[in-house]
Amino acid sequence: MGKTFYSRLVLCATLLTFVVIVVGAFVRLTDAGLGCPDWPGCYGKLTPKHAAADIAKAVETQGGTHGPVSMQKAWNEMVHRYLAGVLGLLILAISILAWRAHIRREQSPWLPTALLGVVIFQAALGMWTVTMLLKPVIVMLHLLGGMATLALLIWLAARQWPWRDRRDAAAARLRPWAVLGLVLLVAQIALGGWVSTNYAALACIDLPTCHGEWLPKMDFKHGFQLVRKLGETAAGDKLSYDALTAIHWTHRVGAVIVTLYLAWLAAMALRVNALRTIALAVLGLLTLQVILGVSNILTGLKLSVAVGHNAGAALLLGALVVLNFALCARSRSTL
């Protein structure tokens, strides 16, 4: 198996990771995270079809299909697990192939090896998401783990092809700002995950204000307590609407900051001829993401729009990773 096969395998894993992230968002937004309340199977079975009797009993116990368990939700959850399992096997194969002599001579195998470690931890987070009953911090970390996997695979995919050396003065000046842009975007994705996992997406249903105010009543203390159960404070009390408002409002403010910064970063990158295509991609995806974010409020969190907003975040992250790679590309063996 040669270098071409390895490159194609990396590309397939990258595309599949994006699919897994989108399907994971669909699972979360359809409240299907506990569609199969055990792991890795569904009521100990391979598929929901084999667990039909257990699912029917759970539906009857919860008083109908509007609870956390239903046949459809079980399939939503298990399809996500199947895809994640295939992805794990692909990344295992990539990490093994990376140590073959003809590949190791061209590029370091340590990134694929680290990627395998991330995926193993991500699998553990997937298990804890179910066994800990959707504890917000675990769900958020699971989302970030998926995004980290995508970012590392995009970097790995980028180094499979030759890149022109861009160590000119303009690129050198832009490099630290691109890194900062990536850090800000990751922080904003984390905030978005915190909004989603706490079901705070519709805590404010007006724009651009929140409850008709620029600074509504908010409870940051309880809203951003990390170690707690879903819908509760760390003390076990019901999480207040003010806490949900604080979560939502913070994400909005973060969106404004990140949008302005990335727009400026892309404008600077447009001045570097070799970066214009990437810069235009960042601007286009940033615009799309803002439109989808606003549409989430205007449509009352329509499922297709909300899933699209998650997909847009993943694509924008990918564009920022490529921009950073392009700015530090020297030789493929050193990246």
* Side chain identity at residue 330, one-letter code: R
Which residues belong to the active site? 77
Of 132, 190, 153, 112, the closest CA to residue 13 belongs to 153
Q: What angle do the packed helices 241-269 and 303-328 form, to 10 degrees? A: 40
Q: Are 164 and 70 spatial neighbours (Cβ–Cβ below 8 Å)? A: no
Of 214, 268, 270, 273, the closest CA to residue 245 belongs to 214
Q: Are 137 and 227 spatial neighbours (Cβ–Cβ below 8 Å)? A: yes
Distance between CA atoms of 133 and 70, rounded to whole angstroms?
Answer: 16
The sign of the CA dihedral 276, 279, 283, 284 is positive
Distance between CA atoms of 141 and 129, rounded to whole angstroms?
Answer: 9
The half-sphere exposure of 40 on its side-chain side, counting CA atoms within 13 A, is: 11
Phi, psi angles (nearest 5°) of residue 233: -85, 175
